């Protein structure tokens, strides 16, 4: 393979590394989940603003009220995804949280069937049952006898569902306006939603020590801007199923980092359930070729 041919795979590996850092930086921030969620998209929106504002102002009036409404729904769904998934890391391990939230593609298929009339192939049901079995094993592996561990699994599951809502709602909207404008509108909406949630919950958003503020900035720059930016870049050169398979490395990378940095050793049941979830997701991604 030539150096040029290998370049997209190198960039994809770097993207997986950047995205895998997300849960680690959340832990390092040591701040309320709503504050972490807000700062992640707020700072990313500020960085994106000078690059996207012109496209946004020019294209916004032309997309129509229905698409404007769907953009708002996508932003709210993204806010709820960050709020629930980041909160799950306060109750359960990085491995369990990231594995569960990465079942979002399965919920996307279900929502696409319900709201878009897209009929999935028979492989979807089989892979879904396999992923469900994996999720049950993860929940059993994380069970400590108290409600906290199950709350963590439930929040991660809510994060997967809301991420699926974000993906399905955003279907087609990326073609309705320039990509940078789409990202800015959705991220800004998510930041505004999280700010309102934090105000309602009386959660401070800015009064934090320098170490926490640094974690906020790194969250916005590395997993959000760099990680997902590299994924969008690589999608120009590699098929979506190939990129999807690479992204299955996020739970593995995040779990290994949590093991090394926080001493979080996944239980045997969590590892077995995680393997089933990854196999099911790989099955779905491979099925996307047909």
Between CA 80 and CA 82 the distance in angstroms is 6
Q: Which residue has the tokens 């953009």?
A: 71
C-alpha to C-alpha distance for 109 and 168, rounded to whole angstroms: 9
Contact call for residues 129 and 186 (beta carbons, < 8 A): no
Give the mean pLDDT of 74-88.
95
> Is the predicted pLDDT of residue 130 greater than 70, yes or no?
yes
| pLDDT: which is higher, 268 or 119 | 268
119/22 Cα distance (integer angstroms): 33
Alpha-carbon distance of 96 to 138, in angstroms, equals 6
* Residues 211-253: tens digit of each pLDDT: 999 999 999 999 999 988 888 778 667 766 567 667 778 888 8
- Please, which pLDDT band fits residue 1 given cuts at 50, 70 and 90? very low
Residue 193's pLDDT is 98
Instruction: Say if CB 56 and CB 187 are below 8 A apart.
Output: no
């Amino acid at each position: 393979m030539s150096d040029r041919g290998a370049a997209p795979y190198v960039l994809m590996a770097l993207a997986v590394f950047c995205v895998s850092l997300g849960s680690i930086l959340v832990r390092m921030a040591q701040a309320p989940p709503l504050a972490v969620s807000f700062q992640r998209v707020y700072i990313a929106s500020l960085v994106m603003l000078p690059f996207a504002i012109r496209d946004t102002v020019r294209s916004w009036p032309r997309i129509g009220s229905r698409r404007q409404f769907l953009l708002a729904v996508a932003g709210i769904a993204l806010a709820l995804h960050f709020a629930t998934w980041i909160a799950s890391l306060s109750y359960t391990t990085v491995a369990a949280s990231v594995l569960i939230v990465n079942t979002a593609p399965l919920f996307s298929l279900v929502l696409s069937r319900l709201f878009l009339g897209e009929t999935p192939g028979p492989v979807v049901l089989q892979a879904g049952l396999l992923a469900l079995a994996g999720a049950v094993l993860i929940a059993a592996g994380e069970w400590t006898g108290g409600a906290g561990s199950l709350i963590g699994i439930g929040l991660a599951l809510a994060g997967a569902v809301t991420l699926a809502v974000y993906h399905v709602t955003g279907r087609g909207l990326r073609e309705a306006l320039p990509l940078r404008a789409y990202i800015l509108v959705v991220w800004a909406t998510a930041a505004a939603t999280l700010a309102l949630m934090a105000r309602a919950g009386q959660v401070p958003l800015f009064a934090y020590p320098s170490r926490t503020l640094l974690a906020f900035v790194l969250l916005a720059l590395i997993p959000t801007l760099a990680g997902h930016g590299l994924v969008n870049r690589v999608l120009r050169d590699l098929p979506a199923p190939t990129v999807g398979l690479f992204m299955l490395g996020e739970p593995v990378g995040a779990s290994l980092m949590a093991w090394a940095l926080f001493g979080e050793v996944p239980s045997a049941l969590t590892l077995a359930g995680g393997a089933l979830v990854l196999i099911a997701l790989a099955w779905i991604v491979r099925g996307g070729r047909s």
